[in-house]
């Protein structure tokens, strides 16, 4: 660690009193070095004692990575707190080069910009998207521009700017903490992202829970989220199907291919004529789905390798194919529901929402279609479809069926009944 810090322009200094030893910018005059290395600890032991206590427990402390290394050397008193340098992923990457580069290529790095490019995000209640509340409380893990960080700091949202500290929480930054499945639970839980519920109820999750409680030996196999999605510590955190569980090139299965095209039209990735739109480019860029079978296959191989540490390749591939089949089944149900409402728009029975570009459901603008039949469709896609296929991939078939597929089937029946009722009313009016 000392070697790394020297390369970054730091050198070891001693305070005049007490012999305190630490690291400072080599260009600083001696009197400022003394203030930084002595008074950071002296002052913050009184002002924020728990932060100091946590830092002392950290590997940073053991390797003499002191306050100034991360926060800069411009803040000396309570009068110049605004001079504290915000910690960014670039700062962490200076020492953790491999992890930083992996993170920047992965989907977590895209979380903030994904939230921002959502077409109607700026129309939502500010409390649900601004700062670190609502959507931002999880999406803050993503990379941000300097202007965005400045705005967040003014709002008092000082956490998550570094992104790394969402999982390696400050100021201990324990690797072991970030390796626990509970580190993922904070965001991947609840109505929209219930991966925690799927995992914790699966045999994988139950075994790890028993292992944490000491009921099972430490040496037993009990996979965590990180074992599968961050194999060998890879910080890209990717999966073959991506967030939306879509592929634009499902060859040899016409029914599934047509269903996928219908869903991509509803997401705005394909236009009225079935041609790719700029939204598709953005979705691929943000890792929301794979652009082709080659990219999909590359990620699938990584998952097979991760699972094969405990299971045979044959068993692993057969289990993953169950997830593929669930996506197919869910997509066919989804397409029927989408087309049912699209036909209502086309026949003039249901008025197309003004914000929609053409008479077809738009999943990226759910708030613009407030009628019950349209909201049922959105919930069918945004909640039940995701639960159906993600539940299978998380080895929880009960969750996938009860909270996913069966709810999709129920929603489709309700949408079809509502559509039939709207058509009957339309015929009565015409007569």
pLDDT band (50, 70, 90) for residue 20: very low
Helix (H/G/I), strand (E/B), else coil: 198: helix
Residue 157: how many CB atoms within 10 A of its CB?
18
Averaged pLDDT of the chain: 85
pLDDT at 281: 87
Return left, alpha or beta for 22; rule: phi > 0 is left, psi -120 to 50 is alpha, else beta: beta
Whether 255 shows a pLDDT value over 80: the answer reads yes
Using alpha carbons, select from 403, 387, 390, 381 the residue that is nearest to residue 337: 381
Using alpha carbons, select from 318, 184, 334, 348 the residue that is nearest to residue 244: 334
Using alpha carbons, select from 334, 177, 158 the residue that is nearest to residue 246: 334
pLDDT at 293: 87
Report the C-alpha gap between 17 and 76 in whole angstroms: 18
Q: pLDDT tens for residues 186-245?
A: 999 988 789 999 999 999 999 999 999 999 999 999 999 999 999 999 999 988 998 889
Given CA atoms 22, 28, 34, 36 in this order, what sign does their dihedral have? negative
pLDDT at 160: 73
pTM of this prediction? 0.83
DSSP string, 368-406: G--SHHHHHHHHIIIIIIHHHHHHHHTT-HHHHIIIIIH
The first and second tokens of residue 83, run together, are 């001079």
Domains of the chain with CATH codes = 2-83 (no CATH), 86-178 (no CATH), 254-430 (1.20.850.10)
pLDDT at 119: 54
């Amino acid at each position: 660690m000392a070697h790394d810090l020297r390369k970054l322009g730091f050198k070891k200094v001693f305070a005049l009193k007490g012999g305190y030893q630490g690291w400072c910018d080599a260009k600083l005059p001696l009197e400022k070095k003394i203030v930084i290395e002595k008074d950071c600890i002296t002052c913050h032991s009184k002002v924020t004692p728990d932060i100091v206590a946590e830092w002392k427990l950290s590997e940073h402390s053991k390797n003499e990575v002191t306050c100034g290394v991360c926060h800069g050397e411009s803040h000396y008193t309570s009068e110049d707190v605004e001079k504290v340098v915000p910690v960014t992923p670039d700062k962490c990457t200076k020492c953790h080069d491999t992890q930083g580069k992996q993170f920047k290529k992965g989907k977590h790095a895209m979380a903030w910009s994904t939230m921002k490019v959502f077409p109607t995000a700026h129309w939502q209640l500010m409390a649900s998207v601004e700062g670190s509340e609502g959507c931002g409380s999880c999406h803050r893990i993503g990379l941000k521009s300097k202007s965005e960080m400045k705005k967040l700091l003014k709002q008092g949202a000082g956490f998550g700017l570094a992104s790394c500290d969402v999982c390696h929480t400050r100021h201990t930054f324990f690797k072991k903490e970030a390796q626990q499945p509970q580190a993922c639970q904070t965001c991947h839980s609840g109505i929209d992202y219930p991966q925690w519920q799927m995992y914790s109820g699966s045999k994988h999750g139950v075994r790890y829970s028993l292992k944490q409680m000491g009921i099972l030996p430490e040496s037993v196999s009990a996979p965590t989220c990180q074992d599968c999605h961050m194999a060998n510590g890879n910080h890209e955190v990717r999966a073959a199907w991506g967030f939306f569980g879509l592929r634009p090139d499902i060859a040899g299965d016409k029914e599934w291919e047509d269903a996928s095209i219908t869903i991509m039209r509803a997401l705005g990735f394909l236009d009225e004529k079935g041609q790719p739109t700029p939204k598709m480019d953005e979705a691929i860029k943000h890792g929301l789905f794979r652009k082709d079978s080659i990219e999909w296959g590359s990620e699938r191989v990584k998952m097979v390798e991760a699972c094969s540490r405990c299971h045979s390749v044959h068993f692993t591939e057969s289990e993953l194919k169950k997830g593929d089949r669930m996506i197919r089944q869910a997509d066919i149900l989804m397409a029927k529901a989408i087309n049912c409402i699209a036909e209502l728009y086309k026949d003039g029975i249901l008025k197309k929402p003004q914000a929609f570009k053409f008479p077809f459901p738009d999943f990226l603008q759910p708030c613009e279609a407030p009628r019950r039949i349209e909201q049922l469709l959105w919930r069918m896609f945004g909640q039940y479809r995701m639960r159906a296929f993600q539940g299978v991939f998380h080895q929880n078939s009960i969750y996938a069926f009860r909270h996913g597929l069966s709810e999709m089937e129920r929603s489709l029946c309700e949408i079809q009944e509502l559509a039939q009722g709207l058509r009957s009313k339309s015929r009565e009016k015409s007569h």
